[in-house]
Structure 1
Amino acid sequence: MKKALLTVGLLMASAAFAQNKNAVIGVSIPAADHGWTGGVVYWANRTKTELEKQYPGIKIIVKTAKDANDQANQLQDLLTVNKIDTLVVLPYESGPLTRPIKNLHDKGVFVTVVDRGLTDESAQDAYVAGDNPGMGKVSAEYLGKQLGGKGNIVVLRGIPTVIDNQRVDAFEAVLKSKYPNIKILDKKFANWNRDDGFKVMQDFLTRFPKIDAVWAQDDDIAVGVLKAMDQAKRTDIKFVLGGAGMKEFIKKVMDGDKLITADVTYAPSMIADAMKLTVKSVVTGSKMPKTTIIPSVLVTKQNAKNYYYPDSPF
């Protein structure tokens, strides 16, 4: 399978592992409460199997958490019960998980944080994430070109987080500088959720008689958007641009769907990249990049087959 190339930060982690071919690695991630996290769980378990086969001496323990408190408790168990020396963690929430993660880090556990950065960066040794500003920029460039530089759009945001702010700020910056005749009619949080995407889009459709395009930011949100449009029988909207690479949407792009003409990657497989980088560092004793950013790529009919993973739940 082809994957986007990783952009690796120039700074390297200050601490290098001593070579440890019998490492115990904890992987702590949110439970599959929506499509993207379902993909994270899929890639984490798939990569655990691959890495334990590749490095027979290591042990990887994957834990999924239903909320921030559950994850904090699991982190403590990973240390005291499972005796991990390494942690790869995608925090359920940044703020509440910073202290529990720092507790492990202070006790000598090497920590790789994925996607949702901590409020105290000293609690982590390495960071692996998607390119959130890049996602907003790529989305705005595509939308601007497809609309010929003019039109009315609506924006459905994720949840109030740094990640969402980075996406939306970059999106708006591109429109302001390159496509000033594209007007954002409104933007509302849809919580990366299908039902919320449906409700927000219903409101937009009621209030705005003409919408040229929708930036849903996320494919789960876009599912709700399409449902609302279908029920309202609105035909003025030229296309809906989601994001993250849900397989159903990649398939729509491959098949030439009239409304889903493109997607922008923010792949849940970043957990696999983080696990592979961390385990390689553990086993070889080499330094791990301090920061690894995975670029957001525009998916069109021409390259969609490279991003289609039919076995993934997302």
Structure 2
Amino acid sequence: MAAPSGAFAADKVNLGVAIPSADHGFTGGIVWWANEAKKELEKKYPDLKVTVKTSANAGEQANQLQDLVTANKINALVIFPHESAALTKPVEQVHSKGVYVTVVDRGLTDESGQDAYVAGDNTAFGKVPAEYIAKALNGKGDIVALRGIATTLDTERMDAFNSVMKNYPDIHLLDAKYANWNRDDAFKTMQDFLTRFKHIDAVWAADDDMAVGVLKAIDQAKRTDIKLVFGGAGAKGMIKTLKDGTDPRIQANVSYSPKFIYDAIKMTAEARLKGEKLPAKTIIPSVLITKANAKDFYFPDSPF
């Protein structure tokens, strides 16, 4: 008889890992940390096999899930979904076959298809920058925002950002557009903002890769009105700029390390090897990074 997912672990744990390919700095970090987890955990646990699959889009990732079940015969899955809605049904189908499922970061639209969820604190990721920007602008000014990809976590971040800004009626959010956590898309989006809005005081870029594109667009347009660009996730290049004080527009950041994929793989593998379940939700804190504490978040050897 097939045991319900989570009832007990098989003698051997065959763990599939489904993640986006390294299309920008953060996902580059995700891929690196996932492979570090595979290398370290397989060495430590002879009864564990880890298969890491990367995909370029939601459709490819959905197909890979079928391969992991049919060809690789996985009995546990850690997935960082490309998109929330598009991957919900494919993950549910895997879960229905008795596979233990841990979802990381970009949540599903229906949580019944998962056993555990591991993520950074997306509410803090939106709230911390909003509070910092509001204080830096003394409660008044014009701002724009760049969002990531349409996912549950992006909605959480934007809702948290807006909930803070509601307390500052003299701060006007001129527009917020998706730029896909991508430098080139952020560059184009910021060019559009700069064309449409003749005065902008601050930008919430919501990701350090997007912040790089934003800064490039501002510099190319020779705009001097923008005093603050707030990225996010603590990429080493941005943290170095913050630490060294080489760009006055980069004054703060918020932590959100791609290492949580390593943590999720490790926690899931070790729990399944013992026949245990993870807590339904594990949230890793996101905190404010300033010049004063930047050295604690600077990892020059990391790919991100």
* Short-chain TM bin: over 0.9
- Which residue in the other structure is 1:189 paired with? 178
The CA distance in 1 between the partners of 2:235 and 2:199, in whole Å, is 28
Find out whether 1:217 has 2:206 as its counterpart.
yes
Q: Which residue of structure 1 lines up, in the alignment, with residue 83 of structure 2? A: 93
**Which of the residues 189, 192, 209 maps onto 1:200?**
189
* Inter-partner Cα distance in structure 1 for 2:203 and 2:61: 35
* Residue 155 (1) aligns with residue 145 (2): yes
SS of the equivalent of 2:54 reads strand
User: What SS class does the counterpart of residue 166 from structure 2 fall into?
Assistant: helix
* Preserved CA contact (<8 Å) 1:211 1:237: yes
- 1:262-273 matches, cutoff 5 A: 262-273=252-263
Alignment check: 8 A CA contact 1:281 1:288 kept: yes
Partner of 1:256: 245
Q: Residues 1-314 of structure 1: matches in 2 within 5 Å? A: 16=6, 18-20=8-10, 22-177=12-167, 179-257=168-246, 258-314=248-304
Distance 1:230 1:293, change over 3 A: same
Cα offset, 1:20, TM superposition: 4.9
Q: Which runs of 4+ in 1 moved over 4 A?
A: 14-17
Q: Distance in 2 between matches of 1:21 and 1:50?
A: 20
Deviation at 1:240, TM superposition (A): 0.4
Distance in 1, matches of 2:62 and 2:174, equals: 40
The total of aligned residue pairs comes to 300
Are 1:20 and 1:284, in contact at CA under 8 Å, matched by a contact in 2?
no
Give how far 1:131 is off: 1.9
The CA deviation at 1:114 is 0.8
- Alpha-carbon distance in 2 for matches of 1:40, 1:110: 21
Q: Which amino acid aligns with 2:212?
A: V
Higher RCO (CA-CA < 8 Å; seq separation 6+) = 1
CA distance in 2, matches of 1:216, 1:245: 13
Deviation larger for 152-161 or 252-261 = 152-161
Contact 1:17 1:281 in 2 (8 A): no
- The alignment-based identity, stated in percent, is 62
What amino acid maps onto 1:253 in structure 2?
L
Kindly indicate whether the alpha-carbon contact (under 8 Å) linking 2:148 and 2:178 is maintained by their aligned counterparts in 1.
Answer: yes
CA RMSD of aligned residues (A): 1.8
Unmatched 5+ residue regions in structure 2? Answer: none
Deviations, residues 232-272 of structure 1 (Å, cap 9, x unaligned): 11222111001122111111111123111111122211211
Which amino acid is the alignment partner of residue 275 of structure 1?
I
Give the unaligned 5+ runs of structure 1: 1-13
